[in-house]
Structure 1
Amino acid sequence: MNVPQQIAQALQRKLQDGHYRAGENLPGQRELAEAMGVSRASLREAISMLEALGLVKSQPGKGVLVTTGQVRQHKDIPAGPFAASPQATFEFRMVLEPAAAALAARHITPEGKALLWQIQSTLEDALKNQDLIAAAEADLEFHLQVARLSGNALFHQVARSLSAPIGHSLRLPFADHLHIWETAHEHQVITNAITQGNPAEAHLGMLNHLRNAAARVGLQMDSL
């Protein structure tokens, strides 16, 4: 994990331990950064991750509120520090990633199969431990590896270059804390299809996963 992810994970533990309670504000960023011995830039990025996961909510002029996770309205979706909106990111992913999954199913190797199942195990372990930071990291790694396993260097390069907005978009569904396991279940469907060498099912599984993930965020992608 990079530094902002480590900070986010440390704050997540404090939230889970009740150090900071739902309905209360986090300390100011300057105070919190000094207490944790980190830069304010890294702290801001960590808070952005926590907000995407539904653990906190930034309130302009009022600080950062601790929340409990909930289904968001479209207007409440945090955009993150990216030029592309979550809607645009999901639209792009729904064009790229189903094709990558289908190609991965055609080119899958024994090593690739083992890797995908290992990532699935990591994701499930993180969810069992209620570690949404680690779960989101495993989620992103799964999607990046599917792009790499497609055998198409352009798919992999594009996915890697857009890993930040893609990572933000896949954190957003975890804000619905009642349905965090749906990501793992949908990944299992995709992994089954890829490892069994079934391109059609891999394509459909990825398309349905992205459509469902967008719906959990409050975005409708039925037209794609």
Structure 2
Amino acid sequence: MRTHQVVLAHIEDDLAAGRIRLGDRLPGERALAERLGVSRPSVREAIKILEALGVIRTATGSGPEAGATVVADPAAGLGAALRLHVATDHVPVGDVVDLRLLVEGAAVRSAAARPAADGLDRATTLLDAMDAPGVDVATFLDLDGAFHVVLAEMSGNVLHAAVLAGIRGAVRAYIGQGAARAADWPTLADRLRAEHRAILRAVREGRADDAETAVRRHIEDFHRDTDGG
């Protein structure tokens, strides 16, 4: 085991055992290094990894906010990891589509069970922007992606939102390619607008089955109709 992994394992054990809790500050570099018999650079490396994973937040200085504080933001770490793996360009589009079907289907079911006014308002604002006269394709697709992320956030499950945010770049890439291949983009855009409204209406009215069916059909139909394979 590499030295920084010793530090990570120790902190993981402390978190699991409840010796360190949300909002607690980790011991300082020197204290951890002495306790574990490792170098301070190894502790520093472990702290950077924990911050990248969304487990802690660090602040410099000597005040009450200084040091490494446990914040537990799983969306940050999971989203970053997914983005990096998808960016390798070795994740097939079909795999991204399948993941969307699983995550977004479950997300809208949950959202329909607890339709939050704030989420509904944000989603509606995005759809209204997509309806604006003369909206260009790139802007339309960016708004489309943001709409789907909002739906995932409305589920109340931080992992739904984290996963969808993590693959957002891959989704944006394949829908952009699909839009470019579309024989009649204006007609396709009108269909997408109508489908988005139907999904949001089902969520707002608490129709979980209809919301899941609508979002799955929306994802599947776009992929089928614009797939270049």
TM-score by length of structure 1 reads 0.58
- The residue aligned with 2:116 is 109
Counterpart check, 1:134 vs 2:143 = no
Residues 107 and 150 in structure 1, CA contact (< 8 A), matched pair in contact too: yes
Supply the distance in 2 between the matched residues of 1:92 and 1:165 (Cα, whole angstroms).
11
- The residue aligned with 2:162 is 157
Supply the distance in 2 between the matched residues of 1:173 and 1:145 (Cα, whole angstroms).
22
Deviation at 1:81, TM superposition (A): 6.5
Residues 203 and 211 in structure 2, CA contact (< 8 A), matched pair in contact too: yes
Deviation at 1:170, TM superposition (A): 2.7
- The residue aligned with 2:172 is 167
Counterpart mapping for 1:10-49 below 5 A: none
Counterpart mapping for 1:199-218 below 5 A: 199-218=208-227
**Once the two structures are superposed, what CA deviation does each residue of 1:156-175 show, in whole Å capped at 9, x if it has no partner?**
11111221112223323322
**Once the two structures are superposed, what CA deviation does each residue of 1:81-114 show, in whole Å capped at 9, x if it has no partner?**
7221222211221121111111111121111211
- The residue aligned with 1:191 is 200
Deviation at 1:80, TM superposition (A): 8.7
- The residue aligned with 1:119 is 126
Supply the distance in 2 between the matched residues of 1:139 and 1:152 (Cα, whole angstroms).
20
The Cα RMSD (Å) is: 2.1
In structure 2, do the counterparts of structure 1 residues 218 and 80 end up closer, same or farther at CA, with 3 Å as the change threshold?
Answer: farther
In structure 2, do the counterparts of structure 1 residues 81 and 186 end up closer, same or farther at CA, with 3 Å as the change threshold?
Answer: farther
Residues 102 and 202 in structure 1, CA contact (< 8 A), matched pair in contact too: yes
Percentage of matched positions with identical amino acids = 18
Deviation at 1:132, TM superposition (A): 0.6
Residues 139 and 170 in structure 1, CA contact (< 8 A), matched pair in contact too: no
Counterpart mapping for 1:41-120 below 5 A: 82-120=89-127
Count how many residue pairs are aligned between Structure 1 and Structure 2. Answer: 140
**Partner SS, residue 131 of structure 2:** helix
What is the identity, as a one-letter code, of the residue corresponding to 1:155?
Answer: H
**Once the two structures are superposed, what CA deviation does each residue of 1:94-153 show, in whole Å capped at 9, x if it has no partner?**
12111111111112111121111111101121xx31401110110000111111111001
- The residue aligned with 2:188 is 179
TM-score by length of structure 2 reads 0.56
Structure 1 residue runs of 5 or longer lacking an equivalent are 1-78
- The residue aligned with 2:151 is 146
In structure 2, do the counterparts of structure 1 residues 187 and 157 end up closer, same or farther at CA, with 3 Å as the change threshold?
Answer: same
What is the identity, as a one-letter code, of the residue corresponding to 1:181?
Answer: D
Supply the distance in 2 between the matched residues of 1:105 and 1:155 (Cα, whole angstroms).
14
Structure 2 residue runs of 5 or longer lacking an equivalent are 1-85
What is the identity, as a one-letter code, of the residue corresponding to 2:114?
Answer: H
Supply the distance in 1 between the matched residues of 2:194 and 2:176 (Cα, whole angstroms).
16
What is the identity, as a one-letter code, of the residue corresponding to 1:157?
Answer: A
